[in-house]
Amino acid sequence: MKVQSTNYKISRVILYAVLIVFAFLMLVPFAWMVSASLKLDKDVFIFPIQWIPENPRWKNYIDIWTKIPLMKFVVNTVKITLIVTCLQLLTSSFAAYAFAKLNFKHKNGLFLAYIATIAVPWQVYMVPQFMMMRSFGLNDTHLAIICLQAFSAFGVFMMRQFYQGIPDELCEAARIDGMNEYQIWAKIMLPLSKPALSTLTIFTFVNTWNDFLGPLIYLKTEAKKTLQLGLKMFLSQYSSEYGLIMAASVLSLIPVLIVFLTLQQYFVEGIAATGVKG
């Protein structure tokens, strides 16, 4: 027993050491980006790397707001991201409840058909989608992006997997007490699904915030563009000002970090629950 305990401790130490090394390697590019954002252009690529600048250039974080209409891009991105995230949480959890807890004709067939769309690359149907939005008169509007991203087959699948782990007896007891399906979903299922909802929030927020191709296709007016398009525009105009480019990149990461750090306590639990239940 003592030998087994020693071997177990050694294996755990090795495992944590490997994980620490990988985590360090993944964080190095981000650390370099933050360091470069505080330097003059001529100092960005100096070797060996000066991780902590002697004279940090905080002015980069001020100049980036005046070089391009960054505030307008941020407001547009926040607007689209928050609306899409809220709609996906609503539609995915609502549809998942029906597929997990209700019985209706062709339920399994409809679910499989809907989930099968995950296997179809977006590039295959982005042209028909664009033509459809243009025929609706929604080209060059935020509403086109919001409508197309308000529904998620992945979100429905993940939420359904979580709901299937909730005992059916809870729903039956609620129905006996006089609750309808909408009340069961709102008062029982949603409060119990915080880990899955938090996980879906992180995925949806990050994907929408970082989306580049969708806004590139639908948004033409500068005043309607998102942050990712604004960064691309900045790169085209100021391709040699690396300090400013890195400052803009750091600013674009801050909301994603805030959302992840706020919900990370539920993230692992949600991934584990949706992966093993159902």
Q: For residues 112-139, give the mean pLDDT.
A: 87
Assess if residue 139 is contained within a domain. yes
Residue 272: pLDDT over 60: no
Say if residue 215 is in the same domain as residue 116.
Answer: yes
The answer to whether residue 96 is domain-embedded is: yes
**pLDDT reported for residue 270:** 53
pLDDT band at 4 (very low <50, low <70, confident <90, very high): low
> Does residue 133 lie within any of the structural domains?
yes
Q: Is it the case that residue 53 has pLDDT exceeding 90?
A: no
Mean pLDDT, to the nearest integer, of 127-152? 89
User: pLDDT at position 35, please?
Assistant: 84
Regarding predicted confidence, which is higher, 216 or 239?
216
Q: Across residues 173-189, what is the average pLDDT?
A: 87
Same domain, 135 and 175: yes
Q: Are residues 7 and 120 in the same domain?
A: no
- 202 belongs to a structural domain: yes
Q: What is the mean pLDDT of residues 222-226?
A: 88
Q: Are residues 141 and 220 in the same domain?
A: yes
Residues 32 and 65 in one domain: no
Task: Specify the pLDDT at position 245.
Answer: 82
Say what the alpha-carbon torsion angle 60, 61, 64, 69 is, to the nearest 10 degrees: -170
Task: Say whether both 78 and 24 belong to one domain.
Answer: no
pLDDT band for 276, please (50, 70, 90 cuts).
Answer: very low
The answer on 25 and 124 residing in a single domain is: no
Domain total for the chain? Answer: 2
The 10s digit of each residue's pLDDT in 152-174 is 899 999 889 888 888 888 888 88
| 54 in any annotated domain | no
Q: 109 and 162, same structural domain? A: yes
The CATH code of the domain that includes 117 is 1.10.3720.10
Quick count: other Cβ atoms within 10 Å of Cβ 179?
A: 16
Residue 41 lies in a domain: no
Lowest mean pLDDT among 58-62, 89-93, 272-276: 272-276
Residue 185: C-alpha distances to residues 181, 198, 260, 269 (Å): 6, 17, 26, 21
Q: What is the pLDDT of residues 71-100, one digit of tens each?
A: 899 999 999 999 999 999 999 999 999 998
Which amino acid makes up residue 237?
Answer: Q
Measured in degrees and rounded to the nearest 5, phi and psi for residue 50 equal -95, 95
Residues 27, 150, single domain; the answer is no
Could you tell me which of 199, 124, 123 has the C-alpha nearest to residue 154? 199
Domain identity same for 117 and 254: yes
**pLDDT at residue 277 in the model:** 47
Residue 42 lies in a domain: no
pTM: 0.83
Percent of the chain at pLDDT exceeding 70 = 93
Q: Which residues touch 57 (CB under 8 Å, ≥6 apart)?
A: 38, 39, 40, 243
Domain of residue 19, residue span: 2-36
Do 112 and 250 lie in one domain? The reply is yes
Specify if 108 maps to a domain: yes
In this structure, the answer to whether residues 72 and 116 fall within a common structural domain is yes
DSSP 8-state assignment for residue 54: S
Q: What's the mean pLDDT in 251-270?
A: 78
